[in-house]
């Protein structure tokens, strides 16, 4: 060993010894983290269905547990699927988050990338991040490179409103249909003022020709974006709309993982991506989608209709994302937060921002007794859908 290398090694050893001496062993992260991370193992997964969510808990041999939320698929099916996937998690190190994501995603070639697999995987992913944050005693966003902002802009607030479709649109529309949207957008602009944000959610429900007419008519009201301009699956429709509409277009809540987003960026037909942390594969995929979008200078405006677990996961992810516009936020909607099982103290300030989520982990308190009681009650699921006045089936 060269003299310089020997001196460097001696200095490092002395520094470690000094740190170990100065800090009690039980509080010395440098001395404890490596052992915990290498020895920790997944021992149990519990799934409980409380309409409309499936809450999952992953336990470890170190007494650290993590929580996740499956939503927007049939919960009775999702519960069985996540319990089956435990076969691939049992005995694994939960801090190997990316490895386990890949293990689950690629586990079955015929269901890879489908909604049930990816939504279920999202809940597992957020639970693993929750465990890892708790293990190291930090909020999840600290594990993602640290926060790039001090607070997160959200809607709906007095200064940011999204308008849904005011009616069920048929396969073609007339002047009165266009007028309904225009009047709703005009009223929203007057409500938030010139410095507020107004968004229009087309919800994949307006025929392309109608949306082109609507977009031209609402242009004077400075709409931040039009959400879900078309049903995912045919990129040519999005290209057509982008060619004719001057208002920024946003979508992505029904497109899963980086593989579902890339075509929008390559074809330059969306100005804003709207991944949902609970739909797209969890925090791990939100990070990758954000990086992919950054290369095209496209910001994220995450879709988020989740319980407080899903909201927290999304906020942690977006805290570390450089290109960000605004975040969907429904903390008081009991349809998304059943029975107040997942508890946080969300506060929106006067300017429409929430503080960074607390930690360690996701920073969500779960009332396990209430969860068990509610899940023991009979649960049911009704398939959604929409039928037009003439009896034909429509998108919604």
Residues 336 and 270 in one domain: yes
Residues 71 and 218 in one domain: no
| Average pLDDT of the segment spanning 225-233 | 96
Which pLDDT score is estimated for 38?
Answer: 82
Residues 224 and 314 in one domain: yes
Residues 326 and 238 in one domain: yes
Residues 97 and 219 in one domain: no
Q: What is the average pLDDT score of the chain? A: 90
Which pLDDT score is estimated for 4?
Answer: 46
- Specify the pairing of strand 53-60 against strand 42-50: antiparallel
Residues 172 and 262 in one domain: yes
The answer as to whether 4 is a domain residue is: no
| Average pLDDT of the segment spanning 203-225 | 94
Q: Which CATH number goes with the domain that contains 250?
A: 3.20.20.120
Domain count, the chain: 2
Residues 235 and 89 in one domain: no
Q: Which CATH number goes with the domain that contains 93?
A: 3.30.390.10
Residue 315 near residue 126 (C-beta atoms within 8 A): no
Query: Is 303 marked active-site?
Result: yes
The answer as to whether 32 is a domain residue is: no
The token pair that represents 316 in the structure block: 């942690």
Helices (H), the chain: 3-22, 29-39, 75-89, 97-105, 115-136, 140-143, 175-192, 208-218, 235-244, 257-266, 283-294, 308-319, 368-375
Q: How far apart are CA 345 and CA 357, in angstroms?
A: 9
Residues 314 and 168 in one domain: yes
Exposed (0-12), middle (13-18) or buried (19+): which is 5, by Cβ within 10 Å?
A: exposed
The residue from 62, 99, 119, 203 that is catalytic is: 203
Q: Half-sphere exposure (CA, 13 Å, Cβ side) for 165? A: 19
Residues 230 and 297 in one domain: yes
Count CB neighbours of 356 within 10 A: 18
Q: How far apart are CA 302 and CA 255, in angstroms?
A: 12
Residue 224, φ and ψ in degrees, nearest 5: -65, -45
* 59-94 confidence digits (pLDDT tens): 999 999 999 999 999 999 999 999 999 999 999 999
Exposure class string for 105-139: b at 16+ Cβ within 10 A, else e: beeeeeeeeeebbbbbbbbbbbbbbbbbbbbbebb
Residues 272 and 166 in one domain: yes
Q: Which of 341, 386, 393, 337 is nearest to 365 (CA)?
A: 341
The answer as to whether 146 is a domain residue is: no
Residues 219 and 329 in one domain: yes
The answer as to whether 8 is a domain residue is: no
* 12-71 confidence digits (pLDDT tens): 444 444 445 555 655 655 555 555 568 999 999 999 999 999 999 999 999 999 999 999
Q: How far apart are CA 131 and CA 360, in angstroms?
A: 9
Residue 393 near residue 387 (C-beta atoms within 8 A): yes
Q: Half-sphere exposure (CA, 13 Å, Cβ side) for 298? A: 28
The answer as to whether 182 is a domain residue is: yes
| Average pLDDT of the segment spanning 265-285 | 97
Residues 205 and 344 in one domain: yes
Residue 102 near residue 324 (C-beta atoms within 8 A): no
* 134-151 confidence digits (pLDDT tens): 999 999 999 999 999 999
Query: Is 316 marked active-site?
Result: no
The token pair that represents 347 in the structure block: 């506060």
The answer as to whether 372 is a domain residue is: no
The rounded Cα 153 to chain-centroid distance in angstroms is 15
DSSP state of 228: -
Region of 210 on the Ramachandran plot (φ > 0 left; ψ -120 to 50 alpha; else beta): alpha
What residue numbers bound the domain in which 279 lies?
151-366
The answer as to whether 376 is a domain residue is: no
Q: How far apart are CA 130 and CA 140, in angstroms?
A: 7
The answer as to whether 388 is a domain residue is: no
Which pLDDT score is estimated for 19?
Answer: 43
77 three-state secondary structure: helix
The residue from 119, 279, 303, 316 that is catalytic is: 303
Q: Per-residue pLDDT for 2 more than 60?
A: no
């Amino acid at each position: 060993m060269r003299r310089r290398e020997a001196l460097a090694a001696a200095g490092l050893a002395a520094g470690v010894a000094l740190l170990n001496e100065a800090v009690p062993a039980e509080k010395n992260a440098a001395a404890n983290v490596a052992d915990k991370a290498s020895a920790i193992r997944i021992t149990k997964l519990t799934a409980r269905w409380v309409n409309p969510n499936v809450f999952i808990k992953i336990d470890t041999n170190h007494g650290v547990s993590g929580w996740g939320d499956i939503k927007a698929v049939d919960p009775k099916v999702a519960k069985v699927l996540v319990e089956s996937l435990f076969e691939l998690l049992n005995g694994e190190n939960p801090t190997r988050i990316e490895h386990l994501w890949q293990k689950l995603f690629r586990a079955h070639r015929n269901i890879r990338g489908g909604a049930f697999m990816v939504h279920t995987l999202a809940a597992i992913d957020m639970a693993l991040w929750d465990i890892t944050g708790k293990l190291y005693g930090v909020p999840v966003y600290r594990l993602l490179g640290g926060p790039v902002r001090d607070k997160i802009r959200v809607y709906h607030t007095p200064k940011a409103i999204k308008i849904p479709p005011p009616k069920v649109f048929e396969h073609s529309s007339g002047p009165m249909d266009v007028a309904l949207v225009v009047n709703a957008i005009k009223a929203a602009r007057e409500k938030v003022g010139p410095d507020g944000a107004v968004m229009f959610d087309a919800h994949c429900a307006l025929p392309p020709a109608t949306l082109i007419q609507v977009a031209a008519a609402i242009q004077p009201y400075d709409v931040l974006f039009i959400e879900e301009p078309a049903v995912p699956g045919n990129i040519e429709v999005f290209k057509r709309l982008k060619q004719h509409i001057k208002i920024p277009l946003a979508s992505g809540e029904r497109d899963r993982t980086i593989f579902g987003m890339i075509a929008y960026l390559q074809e330059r037909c969306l100005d804003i991506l709207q991944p949902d942390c609970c739909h797209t594969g969890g925090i791990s995929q939100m990070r990758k989608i954000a990086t992919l979008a950054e290369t095209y200078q496209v910001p994220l405006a995450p879709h988020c209709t989740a319980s407080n677990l899903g909201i927290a996961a999304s906020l942690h992810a977006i805290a570390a994302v450089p290109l960000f516009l605004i975040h969907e936020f429904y903390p008081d909607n009991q349809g998304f937060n059943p029975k107040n099982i997942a508890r946080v103290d969300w506060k929106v300030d006067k300017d429409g921002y929430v503080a960074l989520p607390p930690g360690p982990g996701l920073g969500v308190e779960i009332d396990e007794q209430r969860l068990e009681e509610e899940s023991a009650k009979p649960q049911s699921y009704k398939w959604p859908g929409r039928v037009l006045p003439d009896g034909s089936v429509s998108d919604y």
